[in-house]
Amino acid sequence: MTQKGNLFKGQQKKGAVANRHGKQVAVRKGKVFKKPSKKTEEMEINKEVQKFIDQANEAKAAAIASKEGARLTLVKAPADTSVSSKKSKSLEKAQK
């Protein structure tokens, strides 16, 4: 019979924790997303719908924040052709 009463045959007592002074904690990574081998039409439709929903949610959040006095702007603004053409003209002038 073992003198370590709470251990069964073949088990070992846990040793002291190793000193990890100055070392980073090992971060466990989550599940890796693997792309499906076959894309279905349903998946493509869901992707487009999700983009629309996300855009609407961001716009609502920005509107609510601006009403409360905060300044929240969208990172990806819709591209206007007039704005981009003005920028390209100013870049051309700067290069000359």
Q: Where are the domains of the chain?
A: 50-74
- Give percent above pLDDT 90 in the chain: 10
- CA separation for the pair 88, 68 (Å, rounded): 36
User: How far is it, in rounded angstroms, from Cα 96 to Cα 94?
Assistant: 6
The answer, yes or no, to whether residue 19 has pLDDT greater than 90, is no
pLDDT at 12 over 70: yes
75: DSSP letter: S
- For 20-29, the pLDDT digits (tens) are 888 888 887 7
pLDDT at res. 80: 60
Contact 57, 72 (CB under 8 A): no
pTM score, whole prediction: 0.35
Q: Are 35 and 47 in contact (CB under 8 A)?
A: no
Backbone φ/ψ region at 6: left (φ over 0), alpha (ψ -120 to 50), beta: alpha
